[in-house]
Amino acid sequence: MKEPLIESKGIKTDEYFIPPFELRKGELVLIYLYGGSHYYKIKEDLTDIFTGKTRHENVNVFKALTFAKNFKESRFERVFNPVTVGKYLKRNADLYVEPELGFFKENGFSKNDKVGNLDYSQKKLLSLYSVFTKTRDIVFDLSGEGPVGAIKTFDFVKDQIKNDGAAILIDWATDMKDDCDKFITLEWLSV
């Protein structure tokens, strides 16, 4: 059996409990947080733990995961020097990994397209693609994506981690639970 990347004995606060779980190479774990205003704060807290930014007494992070951040562009940059896909990859991807041309074709954009003009799912895929040039161990979300984009993003991640990678999906929907290795549900302690 492969060594765990993350071993959680449970994450408990005054408000909620995330049951114990382990993340090993080749696995995709879904942590289901329900929908609501709490989602973003809890997602941020969990992301900080799994990426090693914050230490939690009940969680051993043997190998920190990387979070695929959403694309942001300043207003000045958007107007005077828009970021192209090629420029984004130069800034955020491993320069020694040659971009796969099929990735661009499959997702409907080229290196010369302005990232600001891409739809939300295309931006998410571009962010994930750049992270996967550096590591195969990630934490991600599907926030802001429609059903079609979410499935495409999920399938992309699943394909990327199948050969020696691992991922934690933090989500407010259960649509993907049957396609994950483990399904962990947040438990509310106070109502």
How do residues 63-79 score in pLDDT, each as one tens digit?
999 998 888 888 888 88
Strand order in the sheet with 21-24: 21-24, 4-8, 59-61
User: For residue 113, what pLDDT is reported?
Assistant: 94
What mean pLDDT is reported for the chain? 92
For the ranges 5-14, 99-108, 126-135, which has the lowest average pLDDT?
A: 99-108
151 closest CA partner among 127, 175, 133, 120: 175
Q: What is the DSSP string of 51-114?
A: TTSS--TTEEESS--EE-PPP---HHHHHHSPPBHHHHHHHHS-TTSPPPHHHHHHHT--TTSB
Residues ≥6 apart with Cβ < 8 Å to 83: 71, 73, 77, 91, 114, 115, 116
